Structure 1
């Protein structure tokens, strides 16, 4: 009987030991599983953040690209608008300068006394549209020796000179008259280039106009104005 009790107690001890070992193994498994789960979760979170950052960077680059494209387009539109504003057609209230081919031009003696010479040069708009003759015409006087002498501008400010079809503008040449008969100038023609034009017309020096005192550098041309 004594042997039986000892054996039973020994069996109980073995069973208890096995029970404790089993419990310890379960806890270890739980900890390991928990750690793996936490690591997986951390890895997933990090991957998600990296993906989010990458996506955010992509959006930012895309936004910058769009902004750059808009800026470039805006510049092109501005240039196109500037090109249209500077067009040579009648746009937005602006008119082109009168073309030489559309102007009937003549010259006449307009001196009011024997001391001050004046020649009026009239330009009539024979075109079909309104044009501008504002400014100074280019003027050269041709002499009998076939030289052409440019005439200097007088001290005067140009006035707005807009010509409707049929309207006239006039500008003047002014000089002192030489009554001695010893003038060194012998003008034959007046070469006129309307304001902002490149085509020139040749007009005869008006018959009866007084001789020029001094040199051609003493003659002055004044800006255009309307006759109304």
Structure 2
């Protein structure tokens, strides 16, 4: 009987050890969820990248604002100094008419520049070249350069071209056209010549054609 009691006691001890081991495994298993929760929290922390994206969007807003201010600068009709930009050939309606006064020894052609764009600035002299049967003939400037003026949209200003009349009785030099270059511009505009058809033949010492400053043929309109 004593042997059986020892055996039962041994079995009881073994069962107790077995239960303790099982409880230890359960404790470890419960530790795993807390670890997973910590990882999930860390993952949620990296979600602050949404704030980084927000910062990036705010940065984009600043860029957009810069572009808007740039658009305003381009659309104000001014140059880099804030002054009204010079008149461009493409924005001017250029016409020419015979303005010779009866009894004058010289002929006169008035060239009118009408602004069809934004307000712009003019000053000095326009470039004038006559196309002739003998080649191109550049006009000589006469008088003081015009001071800077603002030519508003729809307004016009004129200047005069003076040339000698061909009273020699000979055929003279035939005029075939007129080329005008607005002040400060490199692009020219070609017109029909409205004045007398010929110039007297010269000795080649200089041009007989003269151009006045902007505004020299009237006050504009």
* Same fold per superposition (TM over 0.5): yes
Matching residue of 1:203: 191
Matching residue of 1:227: 220
Secondary structure of 2:146 counterpart: coil
Q: 1:210 to 1:112 in 2, by over 3 A?
A: farther
Q: 1:212 to 1:144 in 2, by over 3 A?
A: closer
Q: Which runs of 5+ in 1 are unaligned?
A: 1-83
Matched, 1:124 2:114: yes
1:93 & 1:211 partners in 2: Cα distance? 46
Secondary structure of 1:134 counterpart: strand
1:117 & 1:219 partners in 2: Cα distance? 10
User: For this pair of structures, how many residues does the alignment match?
Assistant: 139
Matching residue of 1:100: 89
Matching residue of 2:60: none
Secondary structure of 1:142 counterpart: strand
Matching residue of 1:173: 161
Report the Cα offset of residue 120 of structure 1.
Answer: 0.2
Q: 1:212 to 1:125 in 2, by over 3 A?
A: same
Matched, 1:158 2:146: yes
1:148 & 1:210 partners in 2: Cα distance? 15
Report which of the two has the higher share of helix. Answer: 1
Which runs of 4 or more aligned residues in structure 1 lie more than 3 Å from their structure 2 counterparts after TM superposition? Answer: 90-93, 213-216
Report the Cα offset of residue 96 of structure 1.
Answer: 1.0
Structure 1 residues 158-167 or 103-112, which shifts more?
158-167
Q: Which runs of 5+ in 2 are unaligned?
A: 1-72
Matched, 1:139 2:128: yes
Deviations 1:125-176 (A, max 9, x none): 001x11012110111110135x211111113331333200001011110122
User: Contact 2:107 / 2:196 at 8 angstroms: preserved in 1?
Assistant: yes
CA RMSD of aligned residues (A): 2.4
Report the Cα offset of residue 110 of structure 1.
Answer: 0.2
Matching residue of 2:66: none
2:175 & 2:152 partners in 1: Cα distance? 33
